[in-house]
Amino acid sequence: MANAIFDHAAEILRENDRGTYTVPTHGLYPFQWNWDSCLTAIGQAHINEDRAWTEIDTLFDHQWDDGMVPHIVFHQHDDGYFPGPDVWQTHRPTPTSGITQPPVAGFAVRRIFDMTKDRDMARARAGALLPKIAAWHDWFFRSRDPQGTGLVAIIHPWESGRDNSVDWDAAFERVPTTGVLPFVRRDTQHANPDHRPTQAQYERYIYLVQLFRGLNWDNTKLHDASPFQVVDPGFNAILLRSCADLADLADTLDQPGIAAQARAHLARGLAAMETLWSDAQGQYLCLDRTLGTLIQSPSIGGLLATFAAIPQHRAAAIGTRLTILGEKVTYLVPSHDPDAAEFDSLRYWRGPVWLIVNYMIADGLQQAGQGDVAARIVADSIALIEKSGFAEYYDPTDGTPCGGGRFTWTAAMVIEFLAQAGR
Ligand code: GLC
C-alpha cells in the first residue's frame, strides 16, 4: 500500500513539473508559488536531488533587489488565473506578484541538505542559497517589522498562505473597496464557489494590490501604508524555524556572519512570540497591529507555532489542545476550531485540513517531545490520502476532498510522511 501511494505521489510531481519549477496543480494555479515550491522540493528530494535543488534555485532567481521573494512567479502567460501580471504591474523581467509568502525556504534547504546523498552537490547548492535566504529574512525584519518588535506582519491575507482564514476577517473589514477597478475572477471557474472566498473579500484583496501598486511596490512604504497589518504566530513560527535552520546550516558551511544574524533574529522573535499567547484559548493568537489587540480567533495559525522552538510547556499545551480537537473531528488538524461559529468544514482555510500544515505541526510536536499527538496527525494524513486522493485540502469531519485535485504539495508531504515512517 505504502509503495503504491509513493508511486502515485511521484506521478503527481512529474505531471505538475514544468522543468525548472512545479505548478501547484494544473488549471487553478498555473505558475510557481513560493512556499508550495519549497515544500514540494522536500518531496522531490526523495526522487531526484538535482531537480529538488533546482526548484528552490528557480524561486530565488526571481528574488527582488531589496531581498523579498515574491509569492508568485509568472513564468508563462496563462489567462486562467486572476490577478495576473497586468494587475500586479511589478515590472520585473519575468513578471512576479508584489507580495511574499511564508518563508519556509530556510527549513526546506536544511531538510534537503540533511537527507540528500550527493554531499558535494548539497554543499554547493545550499551554500549558494544561504546568503539569498538570509537577505530575505533581513528584508522581513526590516520591512515588515519597522518598529523592531521581533515579529513581522503580513500586509495582505495572501501573504499568510492561509488566504481565507477567519483570523483576517475583522481586520480585513476595515479595508475599503472604493476605487477597485472591475475584474473577472477565475478561481470560481476551476473550483466550487462555495469553497472559495466571497466577492466582497475579493474586492478587498484587489484594493490592497491597487494601493501597493500605486506606491510602486516600494517596501520602505508598504507596511505603514497598509490598512491591514496582522502578526500571525504561524507565519512567524515558520520564519523563526527557518532562521534556526539557516543558522545551523551556516555553521556547517562556515558562514559565521549569517549564523550570528539568524540567531539574533531568532532570539528576539521567540521572546516576542510569548506576547501572542492566550491562556483563555490555550494557544497563540494573531495580533492586529493596527489596533494593538489580539484577535480572538482559534485557528490553526496559533497551533503551527510549534514549528518554532517555543517553550516546552507551550508545546505541551498545544498538544493538549490538539488532543481535544481530535475528539471533535475525524481527521486532524482542522484549520479552525469546529466549535467556533465561523467554522466551515468546506471553505478554504476556515475549517478544512491541509497536509502541509499537518506536516509542520507534526514536525514541531515531534521535536518538542509530543510524539503521540504527532503520530495521530501523520496517521490521519495518510488516511485522508487513502480515502480521498491527493486533494488541495479536506473536510475534517468526513474527509471529503476539496479545492484543486492532483495537488503537488499534498503529494510532496505524503512522500515525506512515508519516508519518515521508513516506507
Ligand atoms: C492558495 C493557498 C496558498 C497556496 C496557493 C497555491 O492560494 O491559500 O497557500 O500557496 O493556493 O497552492
User: Per-residue pLDDT tens for 347-390?
Assistant: 999 999 999 999 999 999 999 999 999 999 999 999 999 999 99
If pLDDT is split at 50, 70 and 90, which confidence band does 80 have? confident
d(CA 259, CA 281): 35
Cβ atoms 32, 75 nearer than 8 A: yes
User: Does residue 118 have an active-site annotation?
Assistant: no
The reported pLDDT for the residue numbered 195 is: 79
For ligand 1, whether the C-beta of 27 sits within 6 Å is: no
For ligand 1, whether the C-beta of 24 sits within 6 Å is: yes
Q: What is the pLDDT of residues 234-269, one digit of tens each?
A: 999 999 999 999 999 999 999 999 999 999 999 999
If pLDDT is split at 50, 70 and 90, which confidence band does 197 have? confident
Q: Which atom of ligand 1 is nearest to the CA of 34?
A: 10
User: Does residue 342 have an active-site annotation?
Assistant: no
Q: List the grid coordinates of 279.
A: 491562556
Share the mean pLDDT of the chain.
97
290 C-alpha to ligand 1 centroid (Å): 25
Q: How much is the pTM?
A: 0.98
Residues 335-345 have a mean pLDDT of: 98
If pLDDT is split at 50, 70 and 90, which confidence band does 194 have? confident
Domain ranges (residues) in the chain: 2-420
Q: What is the pLDDT of residues 256-303, one digit of tens each?
A: 999 999 999 999 999 999 999 999 999 999 999 999 999 999 999 999
Q: List the grid coordinates of 396.
A: 475534517
d(CA 379, CA 389): 15
What are the counts of helices (DSSP H) followed by strands (DSSP E) for the chain? 16, 9
For ligand 1, whether the C-beta of 161 sits within 6 Å is: yes
For ligand 1, whether the C-beta of 30 sits within 6 Å is: no
Q: Which atom of ligand 1 is nearest to the CA of 25?
A: 12
Cβ atoms 330, 397 nearer than 8 A: yes
The reported pLDDT for the residue numbered 189 is: 86
- Residue identifier of the C-alpha nearest atom 7 of ligand 1: 163
Helix (H) / strand (E) element for 335: namely none
341 C-alpha to ligand 1 centroid (Å): 24
d(CA 124, CA 75): 25
Residues 140-167 have a mean pLDDT of: 98
Residue 186 exposure: Cα atoms within 13 Å on the Cβ side: 11
402 C-alpha to ligand 1 centroid (Å): 13
388 C-alpha to ligand 1 centroid (Å): 19
The CATH code belonging to domain 2-420 is 1.50.10.10
For ligand 1, whether the C-beta of 102 sits within 6 Å is: no
The reported pLDDT for the residue numbered 423 is: 52
The reported pLDDT for the residue numbered 316 is: 97
Q: Which atom of ligand 1 is nearest to the CA of 349?
A: 8
